[in-house]
Amino acid sequence: MDLDAFVAGMPKTELHVHLEGTLERDLLLRLAARNGVDVPIPEGGFTDLTSFLAQYYPAMRALVTEDDFFELAWAYLEKAASQHVVHAELFFDPQAHTGRGVPFPTVLGGYRRAILRAERELGVHADLILCFLRDLTAEHAMSTLMEALPFKAWIVGVGLDSDERGNPPAKFADVFARARAEGFQLTMHCDIDQPGSIEHIRSALLDIGVDRIDHGTNVVEDPALVAVLRERGVGLTCCPISNGFVTDDMKAQEIAALLRSGVKVTVASDDPAYFGGYVTENLLALAAAADLTRDELVQLQRNALEIAWLAPFRRDALL
Ligand code: HPA
Ligand code: ZN
């Protein structure tokens, strides 16, 4: 069997995909027309996180009704099923919607309906991770967390995304402490090559006590922190194709080195509608760039299941 077929056929777990980042152009145009809203069409050409985010957030204005959020998540879940994803943990950015007048339950209700249907009809299991926008205030994040509490059963964890510059993990220490006390799992983006990357990784790990880190490959610069990742079993959700757009390369060597040193590295797609690759394409891109063996590709999937926020009975069934 050739490598493409091997990777395509592997059962997969995807732990770093933003639902709003799966908004493909066709759906964006259809929703914008249906809602009668004027939405800037993403043109690509991003060179860093800031230039990506500048196209990413305005495009979300196409999403207005509960059906819109349903259709977005359903389209992703159909794609995931076609790539043999068996479990996915899906980031969503409620503040990007509530901030323009879309009620929190509208967003969550649409996403939840798609997840329930996908489990029934596609055999894909999925959970939601609520991401706070780190360029907004900690108070705004806290009030969003309060809004989410009645829906706790539908949200497995919380994360932190958007513009990292000047928005360190410590800014959200109280929000994440409260989220932990409410029973949520914790993750945070530590985007690559940001000012203060290593300090952000250190703080996320040691001050906040996150369960996972999204991206975080700058950790290779600090062997003591790599050891902490290993000892605590804290995994990294890496997105090679996304890295190729928002940094100077895919960081394939760094990802492979961390994997080979025993860190629970896993590979995911981040914002596939913007970066042009779902999980299969990300695995193939990494395999080609870092010469991964089939055993290493299987290890990436095993890592993903091990660090997934799954009930033990589900994990056991999938491992
Ligand atoms: N980093 C920060 N914010 C984001 C990302 C990311 O990789 N993807 C979507 N929002
Ligand atoms: Zn991301």
Please give the distance, rounded to the nearest whole angstrom, from the Cα atom of residue 159 to the centre of ligand 1. Answer: 11
Q: Residue 10: its pLDDT value, please?
A: 97
Residue 1 has pLDDT above 90, yes or no: no
- Summarised one tens digit per residue, pLDDT across range 226-241 is 999 999 999 999 999 9
Rounded distance between C-alpha atoms, residue 29 and residue 25, angstroms: 6
**pLDDT at 202 > cutoff 90:** yes
Residues 271-313 pLDDT 10s: 999 999 999 999 999 999 999 999 999 999 999 999 999 999 9
* 270 Cα: distance to centroid of ligand 2 (angstroms): 5
Percent of the chain past pLDDT 70, that is, above it, reads: 100
Q: Which of 55, 270, 275, 282 to mutate to test the pocket of ligand 1 (most atoms within 8 A of CB)?
A: 270
pLDDT for position 7:
98
183-201 pLDDT tens trace: 999 999 999 999 999 999 9
Query: For a substitution probing ligand 1, which of 48, 56, 133, 187 has the most ligand atoms within 8 Å of its CB?
Result: 56
- What's the pLDDT tens digit per position in 147-166? 999 999 999 999 999 999 99
Q: Which residue numbers belong to the known binding site for Zn(2+)?
A: 16, 18, 189, 270
User: What's the pLDDT score for residue 117?
Assistant: 98
Give φ, ψ of 103 to 5 degrees.
-65, 145
Give the mean model confidence (pLDDT) for residues 87-95: 98
Closest atom of ligand 1 to 164 CA is: 2
Q: How many whole angstroms separate alpha carbon 283 and alpha carbon 266?
A: 9
Confidence (pLDDT) at 319:
83
Domains belonging to the chain, first-starting first, are 16-318 (3.20.20.140)
User: How much distance in Å is there from the Cα of 5 to the middle of ligand 2?
Assistant: 27
Distance CA 232, CA 169 (A): 19
Residues with C-beta less than 6 Å from any ligand 1 atom:
18, 21, 49, 161-162, 189, 191, 242, 270-271
Task: Quote the pLDDT of residue 251.
Answer: 98
How many Å apart are CA 101 and CA 104, to the nearest integer?
A: 9
Which residue's CA is minimally distant from atom 10 of ligand 1?
162
Q: What is the pLDDT of residues 97-140, one digit of tens each?
A: 999 999 999 999 999 999 999 999 999 999 999 999 999 999 99
Q: What is the pLDDT of the chain when averaged over all its residues?
A: 97
Report the SS3 class of residue 200: helix
Query: What's the pLDDT score for residue 174?
Result: 98
Phi-psi region of 95 (alpha: psi -120 to 50; beta: other; left: phi over 0): alpha
pLDDT score recorded for residue 197: 96
What confidence tens digit (pLDDT) does each residue in 171-187 have?
999 999 999 999 999 99
Alpha carbon separation from 59 to 39, 64, 152, 306 (Å, rounded):
6, 12, 28, 34
pTM of the full structure: 0.98
